[in-house]
């Protein structure tokens, strides 16, 4: 998440869990030596998840063929272990819509093509967010009607482009502040609270079958923020606003998985919604110790085991899978080792815990 580092440091000092949706930079972190990664003929996480009728996925930053995560080991591991893929940044506004009349689909297309070729599903992320907006948009002086038209144009063109190839979209991302009210943002300041509804209705008009999600952080457990979202969703349902599910980002600090995760999933599921874990990682101070890695393994297991209890929670996506390609160290200096494989693609205890759970 592209917050200023000073702001991040202040929030960490206050003990507030700050999470988000990735940034453009990555930084390698090398935790202590781990047991060797299971060989390729070992049953993969993907195969085990398929056996349970679930999807297990990873975010991928930077389209294949452009820069970054395009090595043979990365691609082979991604395709072997996961049956779902989420573009970490390539579908965000500044990447996919760099000019008012310019759409740059190629990087995201390369990820969708990879998913198609490897029998993976795709989560679209994200259509409307208050960050990573193109400069042409945020620097313009737009009226309310013009801003609404710009939102409709963006959502319509992106959703239409991927119609039939993306199975679910994070339509609106992180619209709520931690107090549960709609946060000030480019969209809110110019359109008002109706921008959220407008985005969902526009996405449904562009694709009649794709699942439409609201995605956010600090809504994983029962809290004022998740209570506010619950009220928002019930209002949407009462008025016929199309919404299919809730995305629980699940960027956790070590040992901080909320005890009310299951109860929260249950109450949204009772509304007939899907509830997906969309950006799971568990960060720790580095260098990691063996004890920290065991706690991390238990955290991963607890989250996925809780999800498995509910038919509505049939998707778990991690925000990457190797510590070599993680947003955490650049966003939270001194923190890292957040994923299930280390920076050399070796299995960590968290990988083993998930493998044993799914098996």
Distance of CA 300 to the CA centre of its chain: 16
Nearest to 191 by CA among 142, 134, 126: 142
The CATH homologous superfamily of the domain defined by 30-358: Glycosidases (3.20.20.80)
Q: State the pLDDT at residue 146.
A: 98
Catalytic residue among 94, 168, 197, 279: 279
The per-residue pLDDT for range 36-94, each reduced to its tens digit, is 444 433 899 999 999 999 999 999 998 887 656 568 999 999 999 999 999 999 999 99
pLDDT given at position 66:
67
Kindly give the parts of the chain with pLDDT less than 70: 1-41, 66-70
The burial of 39, by beta-carbon neighbours within 10 Å (0-12 exposed, 13-18 middle, 19 or more buried), is given as exposed
**88 is known as an active-site residue:** no
Q: Residue 110, Cβ neighbours under 10 Å: how many?
A: 19
Q: In angstroms, rounded to a whole number, what is the distance separating the alpha carbons of residues 26 and 9?
A: 18
Q: pLDDT tens for residues 206-234?
A: 999 999 999 999 999 999 999 999 999 99
Smallest CA-to-CA distance from 318 within 121, 70, 59, 88 is with: 59
- Go through 218-252 and write b for each residue having 16 or more CB atoms within 10 A of its CB, e for each that does not: bbbbbbebbebbbebbeebeeeebbbbbbbbbbbb
Q: Is 249 known to be catalytic?
A: no
The whole-number pLDDT of residue 69 equals 59
The answer to whether residues 280 and 319 touch, using CB atoms and an 8 Å cutoff, is: yes
This prediction has a pTM of: 0.89
pLDDT at 63: 86
Structure tokens belonging to residue 176 = 């709520």
Instruction: Give the count of beta carbons closer than 10 Å to the beta carbon of residue 260.
Output: 14
Provide the pLDDT for residue 348.
Answer: 97
Residues linked to residue 58 through DSSP beta bridges, in sequence order: 85, 318
Which single residue is written with the structure tokens 């580092």? Answer: 5
Answer whether 358's CB lies under 8 Å from 350's CB: no
Which is catalytic among the residues 88, 94, 174, 325? 174
Q: Where exactly are the structural domains of the chain?
A: 30-358
- What does the pLDDT read at residue 20? 41
């Amino acid at each position: 998440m592209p917050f200023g580092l000073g702001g991040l440091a202040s929030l960490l000092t206050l003990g507030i869990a700050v999470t988000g949706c990735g940034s453009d930079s990555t930084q390698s972190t090398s935790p202590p030596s781990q047991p060797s990664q299971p060989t390729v003929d070992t049953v993969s996480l993907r195969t085990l998840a398929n056996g349970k009728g679930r999807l297990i996925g990873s975010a991928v930053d930077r389209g294949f063929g452009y820069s970054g995560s395009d090595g043979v080991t990365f691609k082979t591991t991604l395709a072997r272990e996961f049956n779902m893929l989420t573009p970490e940044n390539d579908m965000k506004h500044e990447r996919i819509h760099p000019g008012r009349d310019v759409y740059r689909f190629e990087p995201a297309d390369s990820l969708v093509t990879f998913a198609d070729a490897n029998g993976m599903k795709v989560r679209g992320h994200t259509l409307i967010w208050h960050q990573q907006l193109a400069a042409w948009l945020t620097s313009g002086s737009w009226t309310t009607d013009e801003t609404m038209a710009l939102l409709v144009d963006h959502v319509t063109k992106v959703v239409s482009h991927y119609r039939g190839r993306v199975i679910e979209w994070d339509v609106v991302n992180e619209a709520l502040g931690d107090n549960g009210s709609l946060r000030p943002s480019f969209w809110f300041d110019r359109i008002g609270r109706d921008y959220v509804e407008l985005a969902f209705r526009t996405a449904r008009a562009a694709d009649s079958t794709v699942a439409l999600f609201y995605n956010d952080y600090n809504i994983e457990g029962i809290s004022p923020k998740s209570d506010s979202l619950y009220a928002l969703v019930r209002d949407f349902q009462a008025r016929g606003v199309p919404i299919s599910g809730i995305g629980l980002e699940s960027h956790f600090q070590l040992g901080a998985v909320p005890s009310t995760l299951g109860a929260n999933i249950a109450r949204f599921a009772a509304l007939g919604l899907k509830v997906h874990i969309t950006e799971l990682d568990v960060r720790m101070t580095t260098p990691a110790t063996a004890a920290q890695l065991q706690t991390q393994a238990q955290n991963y297991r607890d989250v996925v085991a809780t999800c498995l209890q509910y038919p509505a929670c049939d998707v778990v996506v991690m925000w990457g899978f190797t510590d070599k390609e993680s947003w955490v160290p650049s966003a939270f200096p001194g923190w890292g080792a957040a994923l299930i494989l280390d920076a050399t693609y070796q299995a960590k205890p968290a990988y083993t815990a998930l493998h044993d759970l799914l098996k």
